[in-house]
Chains A and B, each alone.
Chain A
Amino acid sequence: MTRDQWTDRLSEYLDGDLGIAERAALEAHVASCPACEAILAELRRVVARAQAIDDQPPTTDLWPAIAQQIGVSSGGEPHGVVSLAARRARRRLSFTVPQLAAAAAVLLLLGSGGAYLTLQRGTSPVPPLPAPIAGARTGRGPTTTLVGWEKTRAKYDVAVAELESALEQGRKSGRLDSATVRVLDQSLVTIDSAIVQARRALAADPGSVYLNQHLADTMRRKLELLRRASAFAPART
């Protein structure tokens, strides 16, 4: 095999990684160097061959082992998480009717709850969360709970519960147009999902500063979104 100073630039040429001048010089060389021309053709075939390789599944089904490790049944029903899933489904339903309004309670609660979460977010590291909502994870539940975070969470839960109650009442009053409600609805579902995800992830990794931060951020976003909704539909109460 004949190699020269251009041989080891052929892949870069193939990938378009050479500058204009180098590319022109290489092309001029290849035009007069059969060895480089042949190697270049082979390199092209290597790349094409690589790209044509199909993905193949494992020869044995790995799902039963995975299901066992994550604590769900490989046959079907998830263990210990049904109540959480059901809760999620219920909550989604409660927001599908296109009538939303916020109450004065919204503003009041957000004035304290939102600020509290923002403050919490500013401190680093954020303390670990208490156990996940449905106690779904097996064996590895966090053991550390800090009073400050507990209080924040409790405030958050109260705030959200009252907001949702207020919005539930408000949806009967027809204050918001349906398009706005749909967008709000989708956003809340998305944020809710993110909160559940973050809580679940925290259950597995309770010490994660990132996850704690992420959860605090997500909860704050939800409060902010609800608060924004209140600007669209001033409360009557």
Chain B
Amino acid sequence: MELTTPGVATLSRDPDEPARGAGDAETADVALAASGDGRAFERLYRAHVARVHSLARRMIGFDVADDVTQDVFVRAWTKLGTFRGEAAFGTWLHRLAINVILARRTSLGTERGRYHDGADVLDAVPSRPVVNDLSLDFQEAIGRLPDGAREVFVLHDLEGYKHEEIASMLGIVPGTSKSQLHHARMTLRKHLDR
């Protein structure tokens, strides 16, 4: 009988085998969580919640950040099966968080009808009146950027994504990502000293 099969997994290294080293404890927790261990998943939550929550806060706002963060971790629990260990768990979770946030943004945008882009002025959201633009500190000012500019700025300057990746996430062209980033930075200059 023929023993070998084309494309068979090699014994030297399985492509799904997680990288060895510092992440071993987390790798173990990921495997445990994937098999239903709630305590392992709680450890993953504790390790990553600040990053996810901060991303949500910056991308979509403080008022829904808790809700979005919960949603991200609930989805992470159900989607661990699609995590293949090619990237770090944190990277995978971060990308999942962005997807959740962007999906939420769309539904919120429809409800509130406040999506527009291109402006380099701070966005005056009716529910969050701007008392005085220049009184905002730097992080508040980020939160008041127009949605398009804020998302690009957060993803590029805080989260380290490239324009091509951002363009793909947001469904825009890289040139738009670049100009939005520049608009955001130009606006935020005024809030450097606050």
Given known A186-B17, A187-B14, A197-B80, contact A57–B53 (CB-CB < 8 A): yes
Give the number of residues in B that approach A within 8 Å (Cβ atoms): 64
Please give, as numbers and ranges, the residues of chain B lying within 8 Å of A76 by CB-CB distance. 38-39
Q: Which residues in chain A, 46-77, are within 8 Å of chain B measured between CB atoms?
A: 46-47, 49-51, 53, 55-58, 60, 62-63, 65-67, 69-70, 72-74, 76-77
Contact B192 A45 (CB under 8 A): yes
- Evaluate contact between A73 and B38: CB separation under 8 angstroms: yes
Q: How far is the CA of A55 from the CA of B94 in the complex (A)?
A: 13
Q: Which of B17, B34, B74, B80 contacts A66 (CB 8 A)?
A: B74
- Interface residue? B92 (CB, 8 A): no
Nearest chain A CB to B125 CB, angstrom units: 21
Q: Give, as a whole number of angstroms, the nearest-CB distance from B29 to chain A.
A: 12
The majority secondary structure among interface residues of chain B is: helix
Q: Are A62 and B66 in contact (CB under 8 A)?
A: yes
CA distance A187 to B192 in the complex (A): 52
From B7, B14, B36, contact of A78 by CB (8 A)? B36
Question: By the criterion CB–CB under 8 Å, are A202 and B81 in contact?
Answer: yes
Least CB separation from A44: chain B residue? B185
The reply on A194 being an interface residue by CB < 8 A is yes
Tell me, rounded to whole Å, the shortest Cβ–Cβ distance linking B16 to chain A: 5
Residues A66 and B45 in contact in the complex (CB < 8 Å), given A194-B16, A225-B9: yes
Within 8 A of B (CB), among A190-237: 190-191, 193-194, 196-202, 204-205, 210-211, 214-215, 221, 224-225, 227-232
A63 CB contacts on chain B under 8 angstroms: 42, 45-46, 49
Question: Is A167 among interface residues, defined by CB-CB distance under 8 A?
Answer: no
B41 to chain A, nearest CB (A): 7
Q: Which of B101-109, B128-136, B175-183 faces chain A?
A: B175-183
Interface positions, chain A 16-45, Cβ under 8 Å from B, are 17, 39, 42-43, 45
Tell me whether A46 and B192 are in contact (CB under 8 A): yes
Binds B, one of A4-12, A141-149, A150-158: A4-12
Interface secondary structure of A, over-half rule: helix
Contact A201/B80 with A62-B69, A70-B38, A184-B11 known, Cβ cut-off 8 Å: yes
Nearest B residue to A140, CB-CB: B78
Decide if B9 touches A187 in the complex (CB within 8 Å).
Answer: yes
Contacts A46-B192, A51-B158 known; A58 to B65 CB distance under 8 Å?
Answer: yes
B11 touches A198 (CB 8 A): no
List of A residues within 8 angstroms of B69 by Cβ? 58, 62
* Chain A residue nearest to B1 in the complex (CB): A107
A128 on interface, CB distance cutoff 8 Å: no
Known: A49-B192, A210-B82, A224-B7. 4 other contacts (CB 8 A): A81-B38, A136-B36, A196-B34, A201-B78
Give residues in B with beta carbon < 8 Å to A.
Answer: 1, 3-5, 7-14, 16-18, 31-32, 34-39, 41-42, 45-46, 49-51, 53-54, 57, 65-66, 69-70, 73-74, 77-85, 138-139, 142, 153, 157-158, 163, 178-179, 181-182, 185-186, 188-189, 192
